[in-house]
Structure 1
Amino acid sequence: MHTRRVERSCRMGRRQKRWIAIVVLALLLLSGLGCNLTAILESEETATVPPSPTTEREAIPTDTPPPSPSLSQAVPLEHAFGGFSLEYPSGWVVDFGEGMVMVAESQEVLDDFDWSTGALMLILSGPPEDITEGMGAQEPSAEGLLDVILEDFGDQEEAHLGDVETRRFASQEGTGVPLWWAEEGQPLRGYLATYLDGEVGIVLLAVSPEDGWGEAWPLFEAIMSSMVFYAPLEAVDRGGIELGGRSMATLDPGGTDGWGYRSLGDEYVTIEVVALGDWDPTVEVFNEAGDSIGFDDDSGGDLNPRLMSLYLPTPGRYEIRVSTFSGYGDYEINLSGAEAPGGGSLTYGEMVESVLEQGERQVWTFEGTAGDVVSISMIGLGDLSDTYLELYAPDGALLTEDDDSGEGYSALIGEYELPQSGTYRIVARAWAAEAGEYELSLEKSP
């Protein structure tokens, strides 16, 4: 399966596309399932049709005894990077995304990524703190995860929510709830389940057309009853990489590779990852404190990531993590020195105009004081329609970023309080490596 870009009407401008799958699920449910997964993940614009009115439906029993279904012909799946194992029906197919595993009854369902065509299960997993923070859950529990996902679902008149119940997996218990809705006139039926402990968080969504639910539900139950959860495996250590170095490796399904680079500090580097096959890699860089200082997905063209002119402010070891937005396989990673990017300095109340070349990241600096509340706006002019902003602290840590909070597809970091005094860096770039003129302004609130 080759997953495409996030559709604009539902797109979330996030650096950590590890959690894009979680955002997708949250958007689906918090919007009353008003955007199907195809509309979110396909590049072509897809019309959204409100769910059709529901009629009286046969409810899934809520006082469910511990499930005991089994699969006569089961295929084992051990996903160490996701922190779980399961068994799925023979003849079904599996695909891996970043932080997500998809199990479907056919390749057609995976290729279309449209659950109106057949049975599909999405399993989102990761460290518990990442899952709860990514979902915005206030209570660190399976019930808390379910609550935040379903917060607005009950307000949708044309969707039906069943009773929340205890969901038993192989030897662990979480929370689950049956769902009914429709997409473009197609009645659908689903089941949402969550699990959380001190080692791993899980969000699971099983869906099929309603007329196929009678066959799909026993299989979904059998998959869930086979699931065992444990602490996810961390990144594979691929060793060090030198400036000017080029290495090759193979990313495991659903995995993350870590490469170490020791910098003398105060230097700019460019990092490129090239997939040797039909899959979509990502790259992210962390400093010694574990703070992310740069992320990219597609700036290198052909869905390959390229971090151009990334600033490494302090001496020490930096970790370069290669992961995936969709798929897995062989890749090549290149690290090279770079010139300082275009840009300059700003003062409060100033507005500047500049031009981005394709894939370029321009850096603008300003002096800030702890407690200052600032707003940063980047508006594309002419051919540049979709801008992107990143704000970095004096120590190089990424503080916040934005894609579309301004008018249209313009980036806006609004009313952000600076945590410390020093020199801040604004990275001005474009979504999907667009090029063109832009206007950048920096304001301080009274």
Structure 2
Amino acid sequence: MPKTSWSCWLFGFMLVTAVACKPISEIEQDLTTAESLPASTEASIDANANQAATLPIPTKSAATSPPPLAPSAAPTTAAYAGWQQIGNPATGLQLLAPPTWINLSGQIDTAVTANELGVTVMLLANSQRTGNSLLGNKAIGDGAYIAGLIAHLDLPPNTPQATLNRLANDLSSSAERTTTSEAAPVTVSVGTGGLVTGSYIDLEGAPLLFNTSDSNMRTRIYLFTTALAGTISQQTQAIFMMSAPVEQWAQYQSTFEKMADSIVLHNIYANIVIQDGSANVLGSLGQQDLVSGELEASVKDVWTFSLPGPRYANLTLSPDNKDIDLILSLISPTGQTVTRIDNGYAGDTEIVIDNLLPESGLYVVEVSEFFGDAGRYTLSLVLTEEPLFGGGGQIAPGQTIQSNLARGAQHVWRFTGNAGELVSIVLTPENQFDAILDIYSPDGTRLAALDEGFSGDTEVVAGLSLPLTGEYAILVRSFAGEGGSYSLSLDEGSDSTSNFYDAGDLIFGQTAQESLREHEAHAWFFTGKAGDELFITVTPLTNNLDLDIWLLDENVNRLAEQDALLTGEPEMIEFVLPNDGQYLILVRDFFGEAGRYEITLRANEAAVPDNAGTISYGTAESSSLQANQTVVWYFNADEGDLINVELVPESSGADLLFILYDPNGNQVRLVDAAEVGEPEQLLNYSVMSEGRWSIVVNEFFGEATSYRLTVDEN
């Protein structure tokens, strides 16, 4: 089983430990040495920018999550008999919906809730099929949906109609959309009593939410900028979007208008809870801000900030105690995850330095806890037009920094050490550039020069003995001058990197025994498929062991961890694999003690597709799928064959997809690009190895349908 890059990744992953809370500061980069340190090519930084990271923030707001208020009274007229209430004071937004509509609020992750307008806290669809299409970023075909958003748009403080006309013009200029009328006034209820005036307008053209293509939608936007007893905030708005395909608008218009009449607005300036309680939307961050928050168990906190143009972001997330393991995610206005940091240990501080955000719009900062535990934290944000740490800065033992290396640049990070101390350093590129790591002593002597891996590989210095007392320098650069993101870790000692052991491969149903040495970690490798339900059990065979087990994917993302029981007792992980591929089980003793243990890997394997037969080049096979059925077709291919695969549905309502696997069972391509009723195609694919290949076919919605499959050689 190939594992060429695993060990380098693991070194970096295991070494990452707690981050110091003191601020990082940029310093001068002059080393006068016998073998001199290369001069930085980074442009000078504006003096004001240098100070921005340490400027005192005058206010520190505490984010709390009070219990939800009692729901407001919903309309009780016969017209709404049997309708369901969606939302309440905790969500900020509320309305009534027909009993057959599906409440999708909370089923979407934070990346999907983020968009160019705001954070989606409410989502409904007219059917489960429409909902599945939305969540799968597919055109909805026949159907309709409603979204409720909390926004922080920089709009002029005019009347609601003027404000919405301005927003509609912005939305029309940024995509192929047109307004069908001027904005009109509308009045809705306020949860505390009384009414508030907003505005609505209709647009036609490209969808406003979700990344669906080739969709011609009509969307009615409702905008409210005032909610409570005359309180006005032009920087906080409530937005409702009611959307359907243009040709079906008349079918849903009366339902939309009836739902709009039931809207109730609550305090949209307080903490907002996404409908199913999966996240708290806490508020907007300023360009230099420091806030405190308190995570509830199994609930994420969501903060937002807006950018008028490109900025460099510096984020620090610190737990208030050492018992919680925080995760920091940054999501762009288009819903893409810019960065996700989870350095792997409880009590760590997560830091992002000089992350260039090129897009203007609303960004989302998501704070969560790996195990879903509750706890308090502090979050800081500093946005600048120039990098704060463009040439490097200070790094302390026990600290991990994520930064960006510009093309042709180099970073120098300095630390103070004493003669005789041992340090370990790990440089991990976050993308495919070939990083080079150099270490210089206080007298300028180069102690280490590492470029031992390929592009994307981690560079590791383990147990380096410091020869002198003074300031050391770590130089980060790249082989061909290309740039990219990287993480740099500095740790005292060498135990965390010197005792990594490849224990071997496991298969389902296997039990194996091994012995841990002091401060050693064992890595076991296995291959699984999406949907496999795993049961991993490690049992101490010597009573002194307090075992800690981690499950990692092939990108060394931690999927699960278990250390719940006492010394001498077994630990178990139950987990459903998200993807096909290679996985890793990491076993170690919590206190670094030696001892013998036993590991067992079991699985309820995912259902095997039904064998549909063999298909030959140039033939078209017609067949059918039963409801919720998946089938597999096989074909023989030679290395270098250039092939086309086409899957054609016989029904205009079917949404087919197929997955191509190589002879070793590795997933090569997932093809699901066409709209409902249209053929899926993989064109001009070059076969990489000789053998029996396979094509797995199913229907996205699990519906029965007939189809035609063709595999041709060019």
TM-score clears 0.5: no
Bigger fraction of residues in helix? 1
Q: Which has the higher contact order (CA 8 A, sep 6+)?
A: 1
Give the structure with higher Rg (CA): 2
* TM-score relative to the length of structure 1: 0.39
* TM-score relative to the length of structure 2: 0.26
